[in-house]
Amino acid sequence: MNRFIGSGTLPRAAKVNGTEKKAVKFTLAACYGHNPTTKRDLIAYVPCVVFEPAPDIEKLLTQDWRGTFFEVDGHVTTSKFEQNGETKYSTEVIVNRGGIRLVSQVAPYFSEAAAAKDREATEGKAE
């Protein structure tokens, strides 16, 4: 069985292709572990496409994507194409109808300085 279930955030806004039959392409940044040496999360960037999404999902993916955590259900597909006389391959997740779900949406931090200031304020209250 070919099935992908993953969750994560979008590192950038999705792109819409087509007008009548829309295809929305986006990248899901999914955390799959933590590196104890560098103390950083390990992130996989998964290319995804959803065909004819509901208007609210399209808006979330293209406009209100910052700070939004999604869950995706679909299948992996690989395609082969020619570009400038060279054979190329592409792998992406085709999201099932109804296979994208908003898990949570939080206000984004617009700068690392704002995030650090918020962390300091929170830590000061805990003491």
Single-letter amino acid code for the residue at 120:
E
Indicate the average pLDDT of the chain.
Answer: 85
**Beta pairing, strands 40-51 & 86-105:** parallel
Predicted TM-score of the model (pTM): 0.75
Structural domain count, the chain = 1
Range of the domain at 104: 4-126
pLDDT in tens, 47-64: 999 999 999 889 889 987
* pLDDT of residue 126 exceeding 50: no
Arithmetic mean of pLDDT, 97-116: 67
Percent of the chain residues past pLDDT 90, beyond the cut: 54
CATH for 82: 2.40.50.140
Distance CA 106, CA 65 (A): 10
* pLDDT of the residue at 106: 63
